[in-house]
Structure formats: C-alpha cells, structure tokens
Amino acid sequence: MLYHKAKLVKIGRLLYKEGLVDARAGNLSVRLGDQAIITRTGSHLGNLDFEDLIELPLYREHTLKERASSEWIVHREIYLQTTHKAVVHAHPLYTVFLSNYYSKIEPKDSEGKAILGAVEVIPDYPSGSEELAKAVAQELKTSKILIVKNHGVFSAGKTLTEAYSLVSVLERSCRYLWLKLTNEPL
C-alpha cells in the first residue's frame, strides 16, 4: 500500500512539473484488487501527500466517496469495465486546445506516431457524470488514452508510470502539431 501511495505522489509531482495539470486540476488512481486509491477532491497534484489519497471499495458505496476526486465515478467505471490498473486524468493545454478542432488527434512526430497512433476525441460530457464515465470506460476497453473535448485526457494502463507517460507523449505531440500548423519556430 505504501509503495502505491508513494507512486501516486511521485506521478502527481511529475504531471505538475511538466505542466500537464495546474494547481487544482487532474486526478490519479490505482486499482488494488477490489479497491482503489484516488486523489482527494481539490488536491494539488504537485504537492500531494498521503493524506490526499482516499481508499475506496470498487463494488459498493462508501462515505469517503465525498472526499474523493469528483471524477471518482469515471475511474471506478474504468476499473469495472476494463483490465487497467492505473488511471491518470490531466488537462494538458495544447491537447485540450486541439480537441476543439479535431475528432481524432494524429501525431506527426515519430514518437507520438509510434507510441500513440491516433487518439480519439470524445464529446464533452459533464465532468464527473455517469455519461462521461460510460463513454470513457467504453473507449478505454480498446485503447489506453483518449481526449474529452475541451476538458482533458484520461489515460490508463498497467501502471501509473505507463498512464502518465502516455499523457506526456500526447501533450508533446499536440504541442508539435500546433507549432507546425501555426508555422511557429520550434
């Protein structure tokens, strides 16, 4: 348990350091059997500590749910509908911006092409809603990353490091795509 909590703290700091989340945005979780650990609502991912991590059961309601991230419903549905063991939700600037103009992001850089391929952009369902949870879980059955239009990215994988890495690669690919489209110098 301590290992997973320390990993959540480390990945939160990396997301913040890279600018993939701001001081009050984004959330992380890991699945451990029939329960998950998720970040607390309003927590600062760049300054997480163990008190910011909430343990919740996956198969029943719990009173601590009110303290968990408002996206708990999405994380929970991903775990119930897929085999993923970790989820990262971030709001990377270039990715969110480009989601307003594309239904699918197709990286032009070699790393993005090789690691991500095309990334689906789904409609902007209300944050923390059942509709969002079902749509995200459905897409993540066959994928590891998706973009919610004008909202952010959900990434999932076997580990937090894997899920975080996909978000990082996607944002770099979107930044490259934006600079290429606007003819800005790299």
The sheet carrying 152-157 orders its strands as 53-57, 35-39, 27-32, 86-90, 152-157, 145-148, 119-122, 104-105
Q: Is residue 130 annotated as part of the catalytic site, yes or no? A: no
> Which is the catalytic residue, given 71, 77, 139, 171?
71
Tokens standing for residue 134:
């079902």
Measure CA of the first residue to CA of the last residue in the chain; give whole Å.
43
Burial class (CB in 10 A: 0-12, 13-18, 19+), 129: middle
User: How many Å apart are CA 158 and CA 177, to the nearest integer?
Assistant: 28
Catalytically annotated residues: 71
